Each structure stands twice: as structure tokens, then as C-alpha cells.
Amino acid sequence: MELTSELQKSQRHENVPDVFTEITPSPNRPKKKFNLKVNSKKEAKKALKAGVPILWIEDSYTKILRYPMKIPEAIIVPREYRDVVRTDLNLNTFESETPFNDTIIPRWEDVVVFMLTLDSLAARAMTDRNELDHDYLQKRIYQENLEEEAVDVHLQDYLSLPYEEFDAQFDKERLLKIINRNKVEEVLP
């Protein structure tokens, strides 16, 4: 057996945006059930407006956080929504609902948490190069169980992490050399 999830209308006569696709109802089932289809930023905004917590991640965030890396467009939803979202984009989940609020734009610290799962070196570089809320970042790392990934790239330099429990993947000097090679050249107008 497999546990599945569905979305249902919260009110009987609620209008449903076109990003929701109706699941074929089973006999004797009075409520309509839906899947969520998100393949663009516009559809993500419609889903958010309908009450679905969703974050949109694109490579402009890595540029703003001063790390020269292209990442594919991705959406992040709470873990409970994983089974109801249909997308051609990269679908990621967060364990906690803390980062989800009234916007599809994530906080910078949540982008760093996302990058820990994608490229931990980039997450370290972003932490080095930006003024981040370290308390919030530490809280989010613990919520997502990413302590080991954070220790691998020596984020304990900024945060209180249990680095004694894990072996760091990178020697600190080697890590800093790698990060320094990937600097963004800022051009002044």
C-alpha cells in the first residue's frame, strides 16, 4: 500500500485556478480531488494565491548571492505536497513549513539551505560573501537535517554545528582555494 495525498476545495463553491487538474473521481466519492500542475513562475503564483505553499528558485538568486553558477529552475514545496505536484521542473521539498509565507520568493538563507542539497561548496561561498541571518540559517539547517552537509564545508565557522560528530569532506585550506577561484567579477557602470 502507498500513502498518497490530494488537494480538496476548502469551500464547496470555490473557484479553482487552471493550475489544478481534477483527479478522476472514484464512484461514491462526493468531493473532487486535484493535482497541482506547475511548470512556470506564473503557475507557481496562481498556486500560492490558491493557498498552496510553494517557493520558486532560479539562477538569478545565485547571481544576487554572488556565486557564478547556473541552476535549473526549481520549485520547493513542503514534504507533504510532494505527491500532488506534477511538474517538468526540478521538484524539491523542505521538511519544515517555516520558509513558506505569502510569496514564492524564498529568503536568502533558504536559498543557501537549498544549495546545501545541490552544491554544498556554493552554499559555503554564499555564506562567506553575504550578510545572512546566521541564527535563522542555523535553525533551517537543523530543521532540514543538513548538519553533515554544513560541516562538510565548514559552516561551523559561522554557526554552532556539531562538527565533532562528522568528518568534514574538505580540508579548510583547500575549500577556501576552491571558493576563491569562483569569484564574481563585479562591473561598475
Tens place of pLDDT per residue across the chain (189 aa): 344 677 777 777 788 888 888 877 666 766 677 889 999 999 999 999 998 999 999 989 988 888 888 888 999 999 999 999 999 999 999 999 999 988 999 999 999 999 999 988 899 999 999 999 999 999 999 999 999 999 999 899 899 988 777 777 778 788 888 877 777 665 444
> How far apart, in whole angstroms, are the C-alpha atoms of residue 156 and residue 170?
13
Residue among 146, 54, 39 at smallest CA distance from 97: 54
Report pLDDT for 188: 41
- The verdict on residue 25 lying in a domain is no
Helices and strands of the chain, counted as H and E runs: 7, 7
Residue among 53, 149, 29 at smallest CA distance from 101: 53
- The verdict on residue 124 lying in a domain is yes
- The verdict on residue 8 lying in a domain is no
When divided into structural domains, the chain yields a total of: 1
Query: For 43-92, what is the HEC assignment?
Result: HHHHHHHCCCCCEEECCHHHHHCCCCCCCCCEEEEEHHHHHHEECCCEEE
Helix axis angle for 108-118 and 134-143, nearest 10°, is 40
- The verdict on residue 28 lying in a domain is no
- The verdict on residue 135 lying in a domain is yes
- The verdict on residue 133 lying in a domain is yes
Distance in angstroms between the alpha carbons of the first and the last residue of the chain:
61
Helix axis angle for 120-129 and 108-118, nearest 10°, is 150
Which residue range(s) make up the domain with 159?
Answer: 39-181
- The verdict on residue 22 lying in a domain is no
- The verdict on residue 103 lying in a domain is yes
